Amino acid sequence: MHFRIADTFTESLRKLAGHEQKAAKDTAFELQLDPANPGMKLHRIDRSKDSSFWSVRASRDIRLVVHKTAASLLLCYVDHHDKAYQWAERRKITTHPNTGAAQIVEVRETYEDVVVPNYVQPSEQLGASTPLFAAVTDDDLLDYGVPADWLSDVREVRDEDGLFKLTDHLPAEASEALIELATGGTPLLDRYTDGVPEDPFEHPDAQRRFHTVTDRDDLAVALDYPWDKWTIFLHPSQKALVERDFNGPARVSGSAGTGKTIVALHRAVSLARRNDDARVLLTTFNEILANALRHKLRRLVAHQPTLAERIEIRAIDKLAQHLYKKHIGSPNIAAGHHLREALSATADALALDEFTPEFLLTEWREVVDAWQLYTWESYKHIRRLGRQTRLPEAKREKLWTIFAETSKRLASQKLITMPQLYAALTKNLASRRHPLYEYLVVDEAQDISVAQLRFLSALSPGHENSLFFAGDLGQRIFQTPFSWSSLGVEIRGRSTTLKINYRTSQQIRMSADRLLDQELSDVDGNTEARTGTVSLFEGPTPEIRTFDDAADEVRYVADWLSARVEVALQPGEIAVLVRSEEELDRGRQAIEQSGLKFAMLDEKVSPPGDAIALGTMHIAKGLEFRALAIMACDDDVLPSYTRLASAADPATHEEIFATERHLLYVAMTRARDTLLLSGRNPSSDFLEDLAP
């Protein structure tokens, strides 16, 4: 007998109190051990339209809803008695006549009785005066996975409000197809070229919602850590990018939550699967993101361990240091304070005090060291992209005197910078006869540096499909812009933007998008349009609160955090973020006043599930939480007063201001369902920009 668990079960399990979850899990384990045990007290749910729905008593009031046939037992839902029965009475499990996928389908006749909150503001609706899907045939709608009973309702949808009210009641593949159609896309009809599996539960559409449990350990993992639907199933709008052949470097972009990282992960797996014995590198920004990718890879290729062995996942700086040590020697890397001290000491020794320490450090990092300039002539003629201060030749010459002497000072101390490490590796790779990897996939590509891109280009063997990037210009917070094509990495004609947001609610996405322009372009003219992106689900509008006193803010956030746990969120699903380390204490006080534990976000270790994550906006890059509080959004904190004060001219000031907006965008889009932004008056101007 097959024992399966549905995503509706794990979602409902997460909403129960701790002792109720324990009772439900214990019952699930007993069911897996012996489904026929008469002590399990199975009762058929007579009012259900599906005669195979049964209830199982887990405690005095908690009931599991299972779908039981001679060949399988499926855990479908868990809740208090009446709510569990109501869920089962409104649903049935069927095989879709066109796609062949098993679906949990809501019974059509109950639709009018379901109250769906309308969060969408009329001014932001699609505003169609005629039915949105008037031009789509019934056959196509069925091929997209729309249940036959719901065709008439799909035909009546005229605006965004109606679309979201309907998609909440449809299987995921149908909802996604309708949203893609509504935003001008064309869902793929011939997605499964290998034919429809005989078992409807083995269909790719079904595998996103049903997981076959092989043993007790597998069930424990599924119950404790509901499987990541993005890694179990690749969404149709993303599949073409994973499988497409590119005759040069390619990039997938899209706003936060559109699945760029999942495309990168699946592409790495696809390349390894299609090319026997090929070594594939999947690299990303930092170690915490690399760890998350490793976890997802294990789930994605759990039954193909030899495939996983050929996919190496590394944070890019860690990879570079590892390869340097292996092929060149142990590096002695100059820390930030070494650089600042060396530059200041050199300027003092040369009596050149007209340049501030901050200007010297940024000019060194973003121009001299970034581009590895070794001569006065190279610095004299460099295009200083991202550095807006105009420098006449006389000033450049003085600066070069400082930089040349600083290089000597660092060399005498046997210190190298990370760009120097990358440059040495790039030179070493050029002399190698055989590539270290056949394919490279790069996540968070918007924040790679000049030196890193040169290194990746040299690491790539240069053949078809060998270099693939995933990133979002709207999330660029660490690097100043530069031309990729000038370094030989040309992606024009091979860049695609994803439009469907799978992670963040419509309300959070729309609010965050107000921080950015509707269209962003890189230095090479590649454009990312942010219009037309739609989220798959709705939620409450982000809450914005300001206070006259920081203590009042702390008390309010503490109560807000307590309320999140009271509505059955686990502490590990909640985070508190602040702009910088200086504001961490405010977040710490709020969590402690709520009576909950906290754990610091760290690049190396993910926080435990029984603690609220606390960290800075920068460190949360790439993560996600069901509920998020962004604190200390004060006027002198966001944007950072320290950074703005260091600007040498208005243009640099503008660039810093834009980067700070990007940083808040990154922070806001870490939230999936619920978002609170708070600050002390006078509050950040950015909070005013978030208002509709």
Give the start-end residues of each E strand in 208-353. Answer: 210-213, 250-254, 280-284, 311-315
CA 151 centroid distance within chain: 33
Closest CA to 67 of 6, 24, 26, 14: 6
Average pLDDT, the chain: 85
CA distance linking residue 287 with residue 291, whole number of Å? 6
User: Residues of 284-319 as b/e, b for ≥16 C-beta within 10 angstroms?
Assistant: bbbbbbbbbbeebbeebbeeeeeebebbbbbbbbeb
For the segment 234-281, what is each residue's pLDDT rounded down to a tens digit? 666 677 789 899 999 999 988 888 888 889 999 999 999 999 999 999
| Tokens coding 418 | 């990370």
453-467, 485-499, 664-678: least confidently modelled range? 485-499
Nearby residues of 24 by Cβ (< 8 Å), 6 or more positions away: 13, 16, 58, 62, 64, 78
Dihedral (C-alpha) 400, 402, 405, 406: value to the nearest 10 degrees?
Answer: -110
Nearby residues of 186 by Cβ (< 8 Å), 6 or more positions away: 180
What is the pLDDT at residue 128?
Answer: 46
Q: Which residues pair with 576 in a beta bridge?
A: 614, 629
Q: How confident is the model at residue 125 (pLDDT cuts 50, 70, 90)?
A: very low
For the chain, percent of residues with pLDDT exceeding 90: 44
235-327+422-534: what CATH class? alpha beta
Q: SS3 sequence, 328-350? A: CCCCCECCHHHHHHHHHHHHHHC
540-689: what CATH class? alpha beta
What is the pLDDT at residue 120?
Answer: 41
Own/partner contacts of 404-411, CB < 8 Å, gap of 24 or more, are 404/376, 405/346, 405/349, 405/350, 406/339, 406/342, 406/343, 406/346, 406/364, 409/342, 409/345, 409/346, 410/334, 410/338, 410/339, 410/342
Query: What are the distances in angstroms from CA 60 to CA 24, 311, 645?
Result: 11, 48, 63
Stretch 3-10: mean pLDDT? 90
Examine the pLDDT at 442 and tell me if it is beyond 90: yes
What is the pLDDT at residue 193?
Answer: 45
Closest CA to 11 of 211, 238, 306: 211
65-69, 362-366, 381-385, 487-491: least confidently modelled range? 381-385
- Higher model confidence: residue 548 or residue 488? 548
Stretch 372-400: mean pLDDT? 80
Q: Which helix (H) or strand (E) holds 227?
A: none
What is the pLDDT at residue 64?
Answer: 95
Nearby residues of 94 by Cβ (< 8 Å), 6 or more positions away: 102, 103, 105, 147
Give the chain's radius of gyration (CA, Å): 27
For the chain, percent of residues with pLDDT exceeding 70: 89
| Tokens coding 458 | 């040299």
Break the chain into its structural domains and give their ranges: 1-100+196-227, 120-188, 235-327+422-534, 336-415, 540-689
Burial of 564 (0-12, 13-18, 19+ CB in 10 A): buried
222-236, 358-372, 434-448, 622-636: least confidently modelled range? 222-236
Are the C-beta atoms of residues 232 and 208 closer than 8 Å to each other?
Answer: yes
Q: Which helix (H) or strand (E) holds 277?
A: none
The length of the chain in residues reads 692
The segment with the largest mean pLDDT, out of 236-245, 483-492, 552-561, 634-643, is 552-561
CA distance linking residue 41 with residue 648, whole number of Å? 74
Are the C-beta atoms of residues 260 and 471 closer than 8 Å to each other?
Answer: yes
| pTM of the full structure | 0.76
1-100+196-227: what CATH class? alpha beta
Terminal-residue alpha carbon distance, the chain:
54
Stretch 292-304: mean pLDDT? 81
For the segment 658-679, what is each residue's pLDDT rounded down to a tens digit? 888 989 999 999 999 999 999 9
Under DSSP, the state recorded for 80 is E
Nearby residues of 241 by Cβ (< 8 Å), 6 or more positions away: 252, 263, 267, 496
Q: How confident is the model at residue 123 (pLDDT cuts 50, 70, 90)?
A: very low
CA distance linking residue 291 with residue 273, whole number of Å? 22
Q: How confident is the model at residue 11 (pLDDT cuts 50, 70, 90)?
A: confident
Are the C-beta atoms of residues 494 and 246 closer than 8 Å to each other?
Answer: yes
State the sign of the Cα–Cα–Cα–Cα dihedral 195, 196, 198, 202. Answer: positive
Examine the pLDDT at 47 and tell me if it is beyond 70: yes
Stretch 410-414: mean pLDDT? 92
- Higher model confidence: residue 211 or residue 422? 422
Residue type, 97: P
Same fold flag, 235-327+422-534 and 540-689: yes
What is the pLDDT at residue 462?
Answer: 87
280-289, 481-490, 584-593: least confidently modelled range? 481-490
Residue type, 399: L
Which of helix, strand or coil describes residue 685?
helix
Q: What ranges in 418-538 are assigned the alpha helix state H?
A: 418-430, 450-459, 506-513
For the segment 165-220, what is each residue's pLDDT rounded down to a tens digit? 888 788 888 888 888 888 777 776 655 445 566 788 888 788 778 888 777 776 77
Examine the pLDDT at 518 and tell me if it is beyond 50: yes
Examine the pLDDT at 424 and tell me if it is beyond 80: yes
What is the pLDDT at residue 124?
Answer: 44
Query: What are the distances in angstroms from CA 321 to CA 86, 314, 324, 430, 515?
Result: 57, 11, 5, 17, 36
CA distance linking residue 96 with residue 109, whole number of Å? 18
Examine the pLDDT at 600 and tell me if it is beyond 50: yes
